[in-house]
Amino acid sequence: MGLNESSKNTLESFKSYILVERNFSKHTAKAYCTDILDFLLWLGDTPCEEVSFSKVREYLHFIQKFQYKKTTIARKIASLRTFYKYLFKEKKIDSNPAMNLNSPKRMKTLPKFLTTYEVEQILNNTKIDTPAGYRNKAILELLWATGMRISELSGLNFEDLNLDENEIRVFGKGAKERIVLISDRAKSYLQRYIETARPLVAKGYEVTCNETDPVFINNTGYRLQPKTVRNVINDIVEKIDLPKHVTPHVFRHSFATHLIENGADLRVVQELLGHASISNTQIYTHISSQHLKEVYNETHPRA
């Protein structure tokens, strides 16, 4: 059974609210809307405006049988909170039945990162004998040098580059704009890719370098998608037999970890990563402490 017209309209309005007013990313908005769609379908003929706290609890009890991860349950609860906060804000309900929902406690896990040697292994084993290979080399050098998200890199247009100042403008979560810095080494690969390899990546297709054109393109001249970069990394890691699961985000974690280990100020790292809260950046200090302990235990004669 599908949604009735009223529920469809409410869901569409909610989607506009989180995208426009709350400035959610498209990825997060899609996840939240999917969560609320599931909830509305479960409600059936019961209007979402007439739901009580006990009804919401009943729904959360119902989804337990699907054995979702704690992170997924936490997101579904966040979706419900946001949805009913929206309905309350729009005066469609008199009280918020989801206001007192408690999220499950998440296990704090330290992000995985690569050593400098492991990063260099990956970079040195990226073949540059084809235009696409040179593009991939420029991408990995850029990820390592800037700590940007793969979605941010994929979204780069020529108007975002200020290579004379070693700066790149990126748009992060919620379309928040920030400036990341680029090393001379990464800039060199990027410039050579743009000048020599990029026109040859999409052989047989017209390739332009206008301000709004994507920097990184696929073999048909369209914007390169994050999945392609993930596949490139997977192929290299498999060939060099690196015993770690490496993703573009691991490059980001590695970037942050090595900055902290080498004395970078936490606020600077927060700014470079585009974290809204310093608490998101502080996890890298825990990694750094762990690294110090490992070095101590390996090198101190009485450890």
249 part of the active site: yes
d(CA 189, CA 200): 16
Angle between helices 131-146 and 226-239 (to 10 degrees): 90
Q: Which of 76, 137, 198, 275 is catalytic?
A: 275
Q: Which of 149, 187, 198, 258 is catalytic?
A: 149
Taking Cα atoms as reference points, which of 169, 220, 213, 26 lies closest to residue 228? 220
d(CA 139, CA 115): 19
Q: Which of 57, 178, 230, 249 is catalytic?
A: 249
Q: Which of 17, 32, 134, 284 is catalytic?
A: 284
149 part of the active site: yes
Chain CA centroid to CA 16, Å: 21
d(CA 229, CA 247): 9
Q: Which of 173, 178, 223, 230 is catalytic?
A: 173
135 part of the active site: no
Whether 138 contacts 178, CB under 8 Å:
no
178 part of the active site: no
Catalytic positions, written as ranges? 149, 173, 249, 252, 275, 284
